[in-house]
Structure 1
Amino acid sequence: MTHSSPRVIATDLDGTIVRSDGTISARTVDALARVERAGSMLVMVTGRPPRWMTDIAAAVDHHGVAICANGAVVYDLHTETVLKAYEIPSPVIAETIGRLRAIAPALRFAVEHTDGFMFEDSYTLGRMNAKALGGRPVSSEAILGLSGTKLLGFDPEADPDSLSEKAVEAVGDLVTVTHSSGRGLLEMSAHGVTKASALAALCTEHGLTSEDVTAFGDMPNDLPMLTWAGTSYAVANAHPLVLAAVTHKTSRNDDDGVAEVLERLFA
């Protein structure tokens, strides 16, 4: 391994290495394999819950570690087991929902835990049916008594950026608020839990620092990780805030932008 190869590659999945059609190209799989062959650490850092990692684990041949749910869950792709989870306690969920209902009455809520999620009856994701995704409907009262790795708030009519700004103002002292879907879907984790906090903790365990990390992303939930990493790349299809924050840019996810960079770094 040449000294110029990064010791850690941290990449987001959807919109970054996963294409618009939901696949990861053979070229990208090959580029990710180069990272591990070179002795560097490969970390998938995603908003996805662990149960949505099965196809990814298979695509990367069960190599590496994944940080799921925007930093709330550390997941071993080799064994497909949860190594660590940072939960939002139920009183905090109840208080957060109460405050958000006051400022955005149209919001409907769901709570993720490590192996499933519960959602209010009225929580629909349009073409993505919450039940089909493995969710279990509960009453609006019952949801207030849950703890979990991620609290989701959805308003199909809302603009994601302005909804997120309003939410940060209302509940930013209780939870970490972000968004990544291009829809009015708030993603909330325990206060201070981000993709960066989990990645920093993982690096510390391995005696590595932010300077050892090259990170890739496309959406606002990637910003903590991208601004923490020593070197950061946005794919060309990234959110404007992400394009403005990174040190480098590469081609779109559909054009294997991450693979392009990895082939160069691990030539």
Structure 2
Amino acid sequence: MSGPLGGRRPRLVATDLDGTLVRADGSVSDYTREVLAAVEAHGVPVVFVTGRPLRWAEEVFEHVGEHGLAIISNGALVWDVEADRARLTREIDPALGLEVSRAIRAAVPGSAFAIENLDGIVLEPGFIERHDLADGAPRAPLEELFAQPVLKLLARHEELSPREFWDLAEDASQGRLVITWSSSTTLLEISAPEVTKASTLALLCAELGIEAADVVAFGDMPNDLPMLGWAGTSYAMANAHESVLAVADHIAPDHDDDGVARTLAALFDLR
């Protein structure tokens, strides 16, 4: 089979969810489900690599395939779907997380924070969440957020653009934590040092005996950039952020047009 992998079929598919595999209305089409199942039938694992926290990623686990592995919260968690347990956690050190949060707030007044852990989200009183929250979702001062394990730190600003907030937060952090974003609102997603979608995917692939050259990856937002740069073959969705379109090897059709599935059908010669 000819194609981007120089005649070889991928040995692993890594795909983002929102804006990539999942349609704008939050659904996964029947066609996409059928293609993912067919790829799995070829013995090729499809790994969901998402910025979503566990509580949202669980909504699409039925499509993850028999191998049952998903990379959650931008690489902070590898979840064993079949066993319903964490396979790997890469948490933020509490002292470092608090230190960086204070530095961001000092540099960018108006910053508000929340954290994601295995149990869900905990928010500062001033953090305005755009999604529905479970009844009784806990709120606590910044110092108390880090009294528990933290998979992902969230920082929100109500006045700046995502890029402006990102640049200012990067300056304040001075590389002590990994900062990215994937939202249309001004929400930064912050991970432990060296924790990205790419670094955790690399750990998982090493465990499975799969090299980067044999991985095909799909994404649409800046938090996908490390993964797309690491994978042997990368696709930006047609609807992707301009920074992603600029670096990906190829462009797949829009996520609302089943772009991941259509590309995989061509790569695996599925009828």
Q: Name the residue aligned to 1:39.
A: 43
CA contact (8 A) 1:93 1:144 kept: yes
- Give 1:106's match in structure 2, choosing from 110, 124, 127: 110
Distance in 1, matches of 2:250 and 2:244, equals 11
Equivalent positions of 1:176-187 (< 5 A) are 176-187=178-189
CA contact (8 A) 2:46 2:65 kept: no
Following superposition, the deviation at residue 93 of structure 1 comes to 1.2
Residue 251 (str. 1) matches residue 249 (str. 2): no
Q: Secondary structure at the match of 1:106?
A: coil
CA contact (8 A) 2:98 2:142 kept: no
CA contact (8 A) 1:158 1:183 kept: no
Distance in 1, matches of 2:244 and 2:99, equals 30
Q: Secondary structure at the match of 1:135?
A: coil
CA contact (8 A) 2:253 2:260 kept: yes
Distance in 1, matches of 2:83 and 2:101, equals 35
Distance in 1, matches of 2:135 and 2:204, equals 29
Distance in 1, matches of 2:136 and 2:35, equals 32
- Contiguous gaps of at least 5 residues in structure 1: none
CA contact (8 A) 2:98 2:143 kept: no
Q: Name the residue aligned to 1:238.
A: 240
Equivalent positions of 1:66-105 (< 5 A) are 66-105=70-109
What is the TM-score normalised by the length of structure 1?
A: 0.94
Q: Secondary structure at the match of 2:138?
A: strand
Q: Name the residue aligned to 1:167.
A: 169
Identity of aligned pairs, percent? Answer: 45
CA change 1:134–1:35 in 2 (3 A) is farther
Distance in 1, matches of 2:184 and 2:191, equals 18
Q: Could you list the per-position Cα deviations for residues 212-255 of structure 1 after superposition, in whole angstroms to 9, with x for gaps in the alignment? A: 10000000000000000000001100000000010000111001
What is the TM-score normalised by the length of structure 2?
A: 0.92
CA change 1:155–1:133 in 2 (3 A) is farther
Q: Could you list the per-position Cα deviations for residues 27-86 of structure 1 after superposition, in whole angstroms to 9, with x for gaps in the alignment? A: 111111122101112110000112222221124466531000000000112233211101
Partner AA of 1:160 in structure 2: P
- Contiguous gaps of at least 5 residues in structure 2: none
Q: Name the residue aligned to 2:144.
A: 142
Q: Could you list the per-position Cα deviations for residues 129-150 of structure 1 after superposition, in whole angstroms to 9, with x for gaps in the alignment? A: 4x33873111233225444010
Distance in 2, matches of 1:242 and 1:44, equals 18
Q: Secondary structure at the match of 2:129?
A: coil
